[in-house]
Amino acid sequence: MSDTPNHPAAPQAPTPPRAPDAPPQRKRRGRWILALIVLALIALVVMHVLRGKKPVRAAAPQVVTVAPATLGAMPVTLDALGTVTPVATVTVLPQLSGYLTEVGYREGQDVVKGQFLAQIDPRQYEISKEQAEAQLAKDRASLAQARADLERYTQLHEKQSIAEQTYTDQKFLVAQDEAAVKSDIANIKQFELDLIYCRITAPVSGRVGLRLVDPGNYVTASSSTGIAVITQMKPTTVQFTVPQNSLSDVLQRVNAGAQLPITVYSSDNTRQLATGMLYAISNQMATATGTVTLRASVPNDDEALFPNEFVNVKLLVDTMDNAVLVPTPAVQTGAPGDYVYLVNANNTVSVHKVTLGPSDGQHTVIVEGLAAGQRVVTDGLDRLNDGAKIQPSSGNPRAAGAASGAHGASAARMGNASHAHAKPLPPASGASAASQSTGAQAS
């Protein structure tokens, strides 16, 4: 046995923790550096874009057309749809029965009052008249005999040679015969009238329509179709309606004794057909439409208006004198309401709210918000805003206030103004030229 003591084994030293790898730290630092570089690039791009937009904001003033507000007269009119209504449309009906033997008119012919139209066979009415004349002769003879007897009875009655009853009865007999004679005379007049009715004439002057009955037909007094229809062509009337909100102005003028003229246009509103005067207003309002019917008289000497034709009517209610007028294209409607672009002294524009009045298509009345002499923009309005700089065109400003039908020409002028705005100004130096060219292309 060994004397060497047994010692326990010495414990091993703990393993120190392993340090993290260096490459992940380098990756995170690389990401941060890349992000900073990207942000720097974005900032440079934004600055470049902002710097590139500055020439656009400082672009040349927009070329526009301006016109001054003027004082003038503006007619106050009402536009309405109307119908040509003849003064008289007469259906010629037979007033007795008989065969139609003759027609004396041509279809579409103009006739005058009393002109012959048709003939009904008169023979049966001539016979009836002759019978009535014979009865009249008989009754007159009876009356003469009764009067002679009455004369004798009167003499005897004075001498009290006959009875009182006989004398009285003879007086009654004379009265009866006198009444019979009057009845016979009335019958003769009736048959004479029937003979007149057999010859049918035009009751009014006008134009005959298409033939309704041919000769040879048996017509009766109860016929509803009639023999012909006559329509008076001139003068004629035009019937139209106006809304109830406009009626008060019309009544005020009519009650004051004013004669309100009307102008009649074709259904497509392209041709003026006639003129006339308002002469009647209906006494009731149509509850379904809220309108009232008016009627105007038109001479129609050239027969330009045809019965039952649809037309457009323009009623002149009043005329505004010394009204502030601007060309209609200058008036705009948007979020502020009705407004115009007012030209300031420093060649800038400002949005100016106005109150509108009537318009004739070419000019519009400004009731409030504008004075005569102030200038407004009439063309080149599409790119304007409040405070924008402008350059008034050298052309005639009034050309921009053409009639409302000249929208195509206005659009062409707007296009020309836009092209003029897009052209760069003459450069003063190379760098300035490059900057202005960039701004013009961006605009």
Using DSSP, state whether 302 is helix, strand or coil: coil
**CA 420 to CA 416: how far, in whole Å?**
6
Q: How many C-beta atoms lie closer than 10 Å to residue 150's C-beta?
A: 18
**CA 88 to CA 233: how far, in whole Å?**
9
* 137 close to 186: Cβ distance less than 8 angstroms: no
C-alpha distances in Å from residue 245, one per residue of 78, 206, 280, 327: 11, 38, 18, 27
Residue with tokens 């003499």: 155
- The residues with which 351 forms a beta bridge, in sequence order, are 341
- Per residue in 178-221, pLDDT tens? 999 999 999 999 999 999 999 999 999 999 999 899 999 999 98
With a cut of 80, say whether residue 429 has pLDDT above it: no
Tell the CATH topology of 78-87+234-320.
Answer: Elongation Factor Tu (Ef-tu); domain 3 (2.40.30)
The tokens for 318 are: 């009043």
The number of residues making up the chain comes to 443
- Average of per-residue pLDDT values in the chain: 83
Q: What is the reported pLDDT for 374?
A: 93
* 144 close to 236: Cβ distance less than 8 angstroms: no
Residue 110, judged by CB atoms within 10 A of its CB (0-12, 13-18, 19+), counts as middle
State which amino acid sits at residue 100.
L
Question: Which residue in 106, 126, 130 sits closest to 118, CA to CA?
Answer: 106
- Our separate counts of H helices and E strands in the chain read 6, 22
C-alpha distances in Å from residue 187, one per residue of 48, 123, 125, 128, 190: 117, 16, 11, 9, 5
Q: What is the reported pLDDT for 37?
A: 84
Q: What is the reported pLDDT for 25?
A: 64
Please, where are the H alpha helices in 117-211? 123-158, 164-198
Q: What is the CATH number of domain 99-230?
A: 1.10.287.470
Residue with tokens 């009650």: 255
State which amino acid sits at residue 166.
T
Q: What is the CATH number of domain 62-72+322-413?
A: 2.40.420.20
- The residues with which 332 forms a beta bridge, in sequence order, are 339
Structural domain spans, the chain: 62-72+322-413, 78-87+234-320, 99-230
Mean pLDDT over residues 363-391, rounded? 90
Q: Which pTM was predicted?
A: 0.61
- Per residue in 274-286, pLDDT tens? 999 999 999 999 9
With a cut of 90, say whether residue 35 has pLDDT above it: no
* 291 close to 285: Cβ distance less than 8 angstroms: yes
- Percent of the chain with pLDDT strictly greater than 90: 64
